[in-house]
Structure 1
Amino acid sequence: MKKIIFSLLLGIASVIPFGGSANAFDSTFASYLQSKLNILKSNFNLVGISAAVQIPGKGIWTGTAGISSSDSDNVTAEMVFAAGSVTKNFIAAVILQLEEADSLSLNDSISKWIPQYQNIPGNVTINQLLDHSSGIYNVTDNPAFISAINSNLNRFWTIEEVLSGGFVLTPYFTPGSGFRYSNTGYMILGLIISKIMKTSLRDQFYKRFYKPYNLNETYFEINDTVTSPFAHNWVDLNGDGILDDAFFVPLTAINSSTIGAGGVISNPENLVRWASQIFGGNVISNNSLNKMLTFRPATISGANGYGLGTMRYQFSAGRTGYGHGGNIFGYSTIVIYDPVESISIALMINKDISAGSLGVSFMNWVLQYTTSSVTSDTEIIPKRFTLLQNYPNPFNPETKIEFHLTNNENISLSVFNILGQEVEILFEGLLPAGVHTFNWNAKDLSGGIYFYKLSSAQHSDIRKMMLVK
């Protein structure tokens, strides 16, 4: 093994009941989600991926694709992954709870809580650490720090050793005058939490979050025993451009030297439930949640804003969601919550990739399905592929489009204007054999003649309809 490349940017489906019966999460939707997961696996050349979707009243869907280890064993929904910087959302939640308990103030200068370190201005506030406006140098960008970690992967570091080791270079800017993502800031926040509570971050996470919210497959990197199966991470270890199963590589130095910036281990099912709790207002007060969701503009990992330990994501149709991404040595994670329908999604991947865009695409697919109102009857198997006339027709603004499939097929249902321009993709994905009805609302379109087209690999049909306004 020539070198270790260290970076910190901290097909099976099932349904878990949540706020409703298991049957509420219908098999057609589950098949649709699995087909989209398979697309991500293929399009981004992933080794393995695990996903979960939580929809109130329907349940939690989980799905996987690809392999975990070099023995070609499949990724399973029970497997946990290192969540990297998703940890920052948990850190922010602890800090906000401490402020609610009058243990600290977001306006406190960090000099109140930690000693002076070189290149770490004492007048930086806790709030500036949380929203990355402190200007403090991101230690994981320092090649000297990376070399120190790689020189002994079994070494256990303390954060104090990192901060005093000459790895924190000159600040990017004066506190509060800009935005620059910094893992160092969250490592300092972890120190502050441990000093106030006189316990480890692990103990705080278990007491405040893991146990109260039944996150039973969520762990902490340091001083914890992981009993769940662990997905193997894949990294190009020798620089030949080929990913290697890196699960044998010790992570003690990597994990201990960045605690606070990372540290959470979990699976997608636990993370979608966490997202629904934190962003649903069950973990912190409404006042604290408003602070967490006050965003400054930022372009980072598929997000367009950063709040307190929270990234902002833009979906199609102008909708906005919240969450966080994370990467650490062959693991990538994205968690996103849609506040309109209280839908949570999580993707965990066993190679390094900027997962934000994947998460946004997956959430768009979920929202496309939930807002499209496809209903399916699979008890009757039609004899031929058929696209029926919409009804009512003419219509304003809602109509139904019925079509028949003789086999399980990946289909596309789209609408075109009279110029032949595609104006909306109503549905793309796998549907089972049966009779399907799509409820379409054209409230955002002008009146006129439109065409709707149904196509699959083997068939295609098109019909005309009239929107009257």
Structure 2
Amino acid sequence: YPNVLPTITIEQLLYHTSGLYDYTNNIAYGNTTILLDPSGIQIPDQIMENFVLTSNFSPGVKQEYSNTNYLLLGMIIEKISGRPYYEEIRDRFDLDTNYPTMAVPPFEIPTTDLGNLWFDRSGTGNFFVDVEVAGLSLNGLFSGASSTGAYAATPADVVKWGYDLYSGKYLSESTMNKLLTPHPLGLFGISDYGLGVVIADATCGPISYGHTGSIIYTSNMAYLPDHDLCVVAMTNDGRAAADLSFVINITEQMICLYLETVVSTDEQADTDNQLKIYPNPATVELNLDFENPVSDLTVKVYNQLGQKVAYYSAKQKENYVRLNTVDWANGSYIIHITTKEKQIIRKVIKQ
């Protein structure tokens, strides 16, 4: 293809360090798939020829998300397997048994009804229509998204997929380590991003693995390894596509609400290290007392808005930490404690 260097590697595609222009940013592509020919089937080869413009940067110089990377990866799967990428995935992961609602319209027919899509066809932000009621086809939208993220499924099946993938059901330990290792450049220079996976701290503390997705339908999935928990938020409201923080915030609210249900405000003891947190409620100070010394200790404290209000770390062995709480506003806080052996989440009150 004219704007794809032959030296780009598969790893660079997965890491988004290829520099390839994101075809979904091309206005001509959006006009074709949504406005001019919504019922037409978009072919990846034609998308690469017609809508991928000059590269944004040389491979390996930056890490910037581009859907073109995933489109090419799907084409590589098809070249190697000799069949459509979605057929290879269906058989390889036994979707019919494990995730029966997963399908790639219009090439596969979903086993459950697809939620009607509400979309601002005018582009003004004031005129939203039910695409199905308006008689518009979604063929162009889904076929154009292709292997960049055109799967339809129920939240339950997406949760199960995320849980199975990130808990290690499908990949070896060495591959999982590679998958979850963030590129040193940082996505857009600010975010941790592995091989096709967002690595982030939830606002209330714990680390999560997952991804967002939007082809006007919008979703976000996050798996918390420390809690063996997977959470998904999905919407058919097209307004969410303009601001992915909508589904990200819903996901994080669900995570934080879950964590609040599994911790209490009483003094709590951890059975491995006999951790005591006192006084709780706190007034001027909060003490963390480990009966057995722990190493590689990190303590993060978050308020109800997800803002970090305190941080402490130590490489050497510690068995006592004192936090000054004088400047904390009254209310509840989440303490995220990481040691070399484990992670602990606790809830405390400042009054």
Report the AA paired with residue 236 of structure 2.
N
Give the Å deviation of 1:211: 3.1
Query: Which residue of structure 2 aligns with residue 120 of structure 1?
Result: 4
CA spacing shift, 1:280–1:453, aligned 2, 3 Å: closer
Within the alignment, does 1:277 sit opposite 2:168 as a pair? no
SS at match of 2:231: strand
TM (norm. structure 2) is 0.72
Report the AA paired with residue 61 of structure 2.
S
SS at match of 1:232: coil
Task: Measure, in 2, the Cα distance between the counterparts of 1:175 and 1:304.
Answer: 19
Task: Measure, in 1, the Cα distance between the counterparts of 2:63 and 2:19.
Answer: 7
CA spacing shift, 1:240–1:290, aligned 2, 3 Å: closer
Further displaced range: 258-267 or 189-198: 258-267
Query: Which residue of structure 2 aligns with residue 332 of structure 1?
Result: 218
Query: Which residue of structure 2 aligns with residue 397 of structure 1?
Result: 276
Q: Is the 8 A contact 2:22 2:52 kept in 1?
A: yes
CA spacing shift, 1:257–1:316, aligned 2, 3 Å: closer
Task: Measure, in 1, the Cα distance between the counterparts of 2:9 and 2:146.
Answer: 20
Q: 1:361 is matched with which residue: 229, 253, 259?
A: 253
Within the alignment, does 1:197 sit opposite 2:84 as a pair? no
Query: Which residue of structure 2 aligns with residue 13 of structure 1?
Result: none
Give CA deviations for 1:226-282 in whole Å, capped at 9, x if unaligned. Answer: 121221111122336143222342111122122111221111111111111111111
Q: 2:43 is matched with which residue: 158, 169, 173?
A: 158
Q: 2:93 is matched with which residue: 186, 209, 214?
A: 209
Q: 2:180 is matched with which residue: 293, 317, 338?
A: 293
CA spacing shift, 1:184–1:240, aligned 2, 3 Å: closer
SS at match of 2:255: helix
CA spacing shift, 1:443–1:358, aligned 2, 3 Å: farther
The sequence identity of aligned pairs, in percent, is: 25
Task: Measure, in 1, the Cα distance between the counterparts of 2:278 and 2:94.
Answer: 46
SS at match of 2:93: helix
Report the AA paired with residue 220 of structure 2.
I
SS at match of 2:111: coil
Task: Measure, in 2, the Cα distance between the counterparts of 1:315 and 1:349.
Answer: 20
Compute the RMSD of aligned alpha carbons. 3.3
Task: Report the count of equivalent residues.
Answer: 287
Within the alignment, does 1:134 sit opposite 2:18 as a pair? yes
Task: Measure, in 2, the Cα distance between the counterparts of 1:250 and 1:208.
Answer: 30
SS at match of 2:78: helix
Structure 1: tracts of 5 or more residues without a match: 1-116, 375-389, 402-414, 427-441, 455-462
SS at match of 1:190: helix
Q: 2:230 is matched with which residue: 336, 344, 355?
A: 344
Query: Which residue of structure 1 aligns with residue 293 of structure 2?
Result: none
Aligned pairs for 1:53-202 within 5 A:
117-149=1-33, 150-165=35-50, 167-202=51-86
TM (norm. structure 1) is 0.55
Report the AA paired with residue 255 of structure 2.
M
Task: Measure, in 1, the Cα distance between the counterparts of 2:144 and 2:330.
Answer: 57
SS at match of 2:152: strand
Within the alignment, does 1:255 sit opposite 2:121 as a pair? no
Q: 1:220 is matched with which residue: 104, 120, 124?
A: 104
Query: Which residue of structure 1 aligns with residue 199 of structure 2?
Result: 312
Task: Measure, in 2, the Cα distance between the counterparts of 1:464 and 1:276.
Answer: 35
